[in-house]
Structure 1
Amino acid sequence: MSLFQAREWWAVSAGIQEEYTHGAIALGNVDNDTEHRHLKIVVGSLHGMLRVYYPTQAEFKIEHLLLEEQLEHPILQVEVGNFIPHCKLLGIAVLHPKMLVVYMLEGVGGSGMAASYFKLTKKYEHHLGIDGEHFTAYNMTFGHFGGARDQDQLVVQALDGRLQFFELDRFAFMQQLSTCLVPGVLAYAESIDSILTASSDLCIECYRYQILATSLLKKKKNDDEDAKGVTAAKSLHAEWRTNLGETVLDIKLGRFSTLSKSFDIVVLCEFTLFCLRPSGEIIFQKRLGFHPSAATLYLTDSRSDDESSSQCNIILGTHAKQWMIYNGANLIWSALAPTVSTALAVGNMGGNPGMIVNLDDQGHLSVNYLGTDPPSSTVVAASETKEINYEEMDEEHRTLLNIIRRSQGERRTEPKERILIRAQVPAIFDATGQHYDEDCAKGNRADDDIVLGPDQNPLQITMRVYVTYTGSNIIPNVTLALTVPQNVVLMSESTIHIDAVDGRSSTPLIVPVLLRPSSRAMPLSLEVTISAAYTLESGQPRTSICAVKLPMCMMCRLVPPVKTSTFKFTLDTNQAPPLLADLFQDMLTQPGSTPDWAKQVTGSTANVLSFQYYNGIDVTILVSKNAGRYRIQSSELDALWMVSNELVERLQLLYEASGEDQTPLEIQYQDPLPLADFFGAIDEHFQLRKSVNDLKAEINDRAHEFRVIQKRLLVRFKDRNPSPLNALDLLLHNTYHQILELSKQMEVTQNKLELAANRLSCSVSLLLMLMRYKFALDGPNFSILAAHLSPMISNEDEMGWEEMTEAAVTELLKTSLKSGNKDHTAVLAPEIGFLPDTKKLKKHITIVCDRLGKGALFIGNRNKGDDDNDAKNTE
Structure 2
Amino acid sequence: MSLFKAREWWSCQVGSGEQFDYGCLKVGSFTEDLNNKVVVGSHQGILRIYSPSSSQSDSITNNHATDLLLEKNLGMPIVQIEIGKFVSTSSVNQIAILFSHKLAVYDYNEQSGMTEHGRQIDIELNYEHNLNRPTFNMCKGQFGSGGKGNKDSANFEYICVQTLDGVLFVFEHERQSMVKSLPDTYLPGPICYLSRSDAIATVSSNHHLECYKYQTLAISSGVDHGTSVNKNARRKGLDVDSSLSVSQPSKQVLPEWSFNLGECALGIQTTQRMKNTGQTIVVLGERNLFCLHDNGQLIFMSKFEYNPSTFIVYNSEVNNNVSQSDPSNIGVRYIIGTHSHTLFIAQDAHIRWAAYVDFVPVQIEVCTIQDIRGMICTLSETGLLQCCYLGTDAVSTSIPSIMPSTIINVQDAEEQLAKLNKQIKQAMNDPTLVVKRKANAQVIIQIDDTNQYSTTDDTRFQRSDIDSTVPLLPLNLRVKCNEAIQNVLLTVHVHSPLCAQPNEIRMGHIGGIAAIGTATVAFWMRDDYTPWNLEATFTVSYNTLSDNTCHTIQKTYKLPLKLVARSFQQPPSAATAGQCKITLGANKPVVDLNTVFPELSSGEYNQQQGLTTRFYGSDEYVSILASSKSQKYRFQSDSLSSIWLFCHSLIERLSTRSIIEFEFGDPLPLNDYFLLIDHHYELRVECEQINSTLDICSKQFRAIQKRLLNKFKDKTPTLLDNLDVLLENTNQQILALADRYEQCRYELNRCSHDLSCATKLICLLLKISVNLSNENTQLLNAILSPVISDDNEQGWEETVDLAVNYALRTVLSRSKSTDLGSLPNAIGNSTANIDINKLKKRLQTLCERLEKGGSLVSSNSTTDRSLSPDSSYSSTSLSTRKEKPIASNHYNHRENNNDDDDDQLPNGDYENAFRLLPSTNARKNYNNDDDDNN
Q: What TM-score range do you get, normalising by the shorter chain?
A: 0.5 to 0.7
Q: CA deviation at 1:764?
A: 2.2
Q: State the Cα deviation string for residues 665-696 of structure 1 (Å, max 9, x = none).
A: 55565655444433332232222223223333
Report the alpha carbon displacement of residue 54 of structure 1 after superposing the two structures with TM.
Answer: 4.5
2:796 is matched with 801
Return the alpha-carbon distance in structure 2 between the equivalents of residues 304 and 578 of structure 1.
Answer: 97
- Partner residue of 1:26? 26
CA distance in 2: counterparts of 1:304 and 1:756, whole angstroms:
75
Instruction: Please list, as runs of the form range in 1=range in 2, the aligned pairs for 1:80-119 lying within 5 A after superposition.
Output: 80=83, 94-99=97-102
Give 2:449's aligned amino acid.
Answer: Q
Residues 598-644 of structure 1: per-residue CA shift (max 9 Å, x gap)? x2x43xxx3x6655444232344566767766554433222232122
Q: Relative to structure 2, which stretch is displaced further, 134-143 or 634-643?
A: 134-143
Residue aligning to 1:207:
209
The more displaced of 476-485 and 733-742 is 476-485
Q: Once the 2 structures are TM-superposed, how far is the Cα of residue 77 of structure 1 from its aligned partner?
A: 1.2
Deviates more, 1:680-689 or 1:12-21: 12-21
Mark the CA change 1:61 to 1:589 in structure 2 (over 3 Å): closer, same or farther.
Answer: closer
Q: SS of the residue aligned with 1:286?
A: coil
Instruction: Report the counterpart of residue 560 of structure 1 in structure 2.
Output: 572
Output one character per residue of 1:476-524: Cα deviation in whole Å (capped at 9) or x when no partner.
998765544445576x6656788998977699968484x5667822221
1:648 equivalent in alignment to 2:651: yes
Counterpart of 2:134?
A: 136
Q: 1:159 aligns with which of 148, 161, 164?
A: 164
**Measured at CA, do residues 585 and 177 of structure 1 come closer, stay the same or move farther in structure 2, by a change above 3 Å?**
same
The 3 A distance-change label for structure 1 pair 793 and 231 is farther
Q: What is the CA distance between 1:866 and its match in structure 2? A: 8.8
Secondary structure of the 2:831 match is: coil
What secondary structure does 1:689 align onto?
Answer: helix
Q: Which of 419, 423, 441 is the matching residue for 1:415?
A: 441
Aligned residue in 2 for 1:112: none
TM-score normalised by length of structure 1: 0.66
**1:524 corresponding residue in structure 2:** 532
Measured after TM superposition, the shift of residue 737 of structure 1 is: 3.1
Pair 1:41-2:41 in alignment: no
The amino acid across from 2:644 in the alignment is: W
Shift of 1:759: 1.2
- How many angstroms apart in 2 are the aligned matches of 1:799 and 1:758? 17
Tell me the secondary structure at the aligned position of residue 749 of structure 1: helix
1:738 and 2:733 aligned = yes
Matched, 1:758 2:759: no
1:786 corresponds in structure 2 to 781
In the TM superposition, what whole-angstrom CA distance separates every residue of 1:323-348 from its partner, at most 9, and x where no partner exists? 667888999654557xx855443433
Residue 174 (structure 1) shift: 4.0
| Residue 645 (structure 1) shift | 1.5
- CA change 1:345–1:479 in 2 (3 A) is same
Partner amino acid, structure 2, of 1:647: L
Quickly say closer, same or farther: Cα 1:20–1:667, change in 2 above 3 A: same
Q: For 1:75, which of 46, 54, 78 is the aligned residue? A: 78
Query: How many residue pairs end up in the alignment?
Result: 753
In structure 2, which of residues 665, 673, 686 is the aligned counterpart of residue 691 of structure 1?
686
SS at match of 2:587: coil
Q: Which amino acid aligns with 1:467?
A: R
Residue among 836, 840, 847 paired with 2:832: 836
Q: Is the 8 A contact 1:577 1:623 kept in 2?
A: no
Task: Check 1:447–1:691 CA distance in 2 against 1; reply closer, same or farther (3 A cut).
Answer: closer
Q: Which SS does the other structure have where 1:42 is aligned?
A: strand
RMSD: 6.1
In 1, the alpha carbon distance for the partners of 2:377 and 2:821 equals 59
The answer as to whether partners of 1:252 and 1:265 remain within 8 angstroms in 2 is yes
Please list the CA deviations of residues 645-668 of structure 1 after superposition, one character each: whole Å capped at 9, or x if unmatched: 123212432334xxxxxxxx5556
Residues 697, 730 of structure 2: 8 Å contact kept: yes
- Cα distance, 1:792 vs structure 2: 1.7
Measure, in 1, the Cα distance between the counterparts of 2:747 and 2:584.
32
Cα separation, 2, equivalents of 1:540 and 1:198: 40
Matches within 5 A, 1:835-874: 835-839=831-835, 841-842=839-840, 845=843, 849=847, 855-861=854-860
**1:350 corresponds to 2:370:** yes
Aligned to 2:275: none
CA contact (8 A) 2:182 2:253 kept: no
For the residues of structure 2 that align with 1:281 and 1:420, how far apart are their CA atoms?
52
Q: Which amino acid aligns with 1:283?
A: K
Q: Gaps (5+ residues) in structure 1?
A: 110-115, 129-133, 221-226, 256-261, 374-408, 435-439, 657-664
Q: State how 1:361-380 maps to structure 2 within 5 Å.
A: 365-368=385-388
Q: Distance in 1 between matches of 2:757 and 2:213?
A: 65
CA positional deviation for 1:414: 5.0
- Return 786-795 or 531-540, whichever deviates more: 531-540
The residue type equivalent to 2:683 in the other structure is L
- SS of corresponding position for 2:182: strand
Contact 2:139 2:192 in 1 (8 A): yes
2:676 pairs with 1:681: yes
Match of 1:309 among 301, 321, 331: 331
Distance in 1, matches of 2:821 and 2:355, equals: 45
Cα pair 1:478 1:499 within 8 Å, conserved: yes
CA 1:477/1:851 → structure 2, altered by over 3 Å: closer, same or farther? same
1:285 counterpart letter in structure 2: E
Q: d(CA) in 2 for partners of 1:98 and 1:121?
A: 19
User: Are the equivalent residues in 1 in contact too, given 2:269–2:313 (CA < 8 A)?
Assistant: no
Give 1:352 shift: 2.8
Query: Which amino acid in 1 is paired with 2:372?
Result: N
Q: Secondary structure at the match of 1:23?
A: coil
Map 1:429-578 → 2, pairs under 5 A: 445=459, 460=471, 462-470=473-481, 482-486=492-496, 488=498, 511=520, 513=522, 520-531=528-539, 545-556=554-565, 557=567, 559-561=571-573, 564-569=577-582, 571=584, 576-578=587-589
Aligned with 2:644: secondary structure? helix
Q: Which amino acid aligns with 1:136?
A: P
Separation (CA, whole Å) in 2 of partners of 1:46 and 1:194: 27
Indicate the SS of the match to 1:239. strand
**Which segment drifts farther, 10-19 or 833-842?**
10-19
- What residue ranges of structure 2 are gaps of 5+ in the alignment? 56-61, 113-118, 223-246, 273-279, 293-297, 323-328, 394-434, 863-873, 875-922
* Percent of matched pairs sharing the same residue: 26
Task: Give the distance between the partners of 2:765 and 2:213, measured in 1 at CA.
Answer: 73
- Mapped to 2, the partners of 1:685 and 1:77 lie a distance apart of 64
> Deviation digits for residues 804-854 of structure 1, max 9, x if unmatched?
445555666787778745489999988534332331654655565566566
The equivalent of 1:400 in structure 2 is: none
Kindly state the Cα deviation for residue 184 of structure 1 after the two structures are TM-superposed: 5.9
Are the aligned partners of 2:25 and 2:39 in contact in 1 as well (CA < 8 Å)?
yes
CA contact (8 A) 1:215 1:236 kept: no
**1:423 maps to amino acid:** D
How far apart are residue 175 of structure 1 and its match?
2.4
Shift of 1:560: 0.7
Verify the 8 A CA contact 1:560 1:609 in the aligned structure 2: yes
Kindly report which structure 2 residues correspond to 1:56-71, keeping only aligned pairs within 5 A, or say none. Answer: 57-58=54-55
Q: Comparing 681-690 with 627-636, which one deviates more in the overlay?
A: 627-636
What is the TM-score when the length of structure 2 is the normalising length? 0.62
Separation in 2, partners of 1:187, 1:815: 70
Is contact 1:205-1:242 (8 Å) kept? yes
Aligned residue identity for 2:331? S
Structure (1 or 2) with the larger CA radius of gyration: 2
Q: Relative to 1, partners in 2 of residues 1:563 and 1:40: Cα closer, same or farther, differing over 3 Å?
A: closer
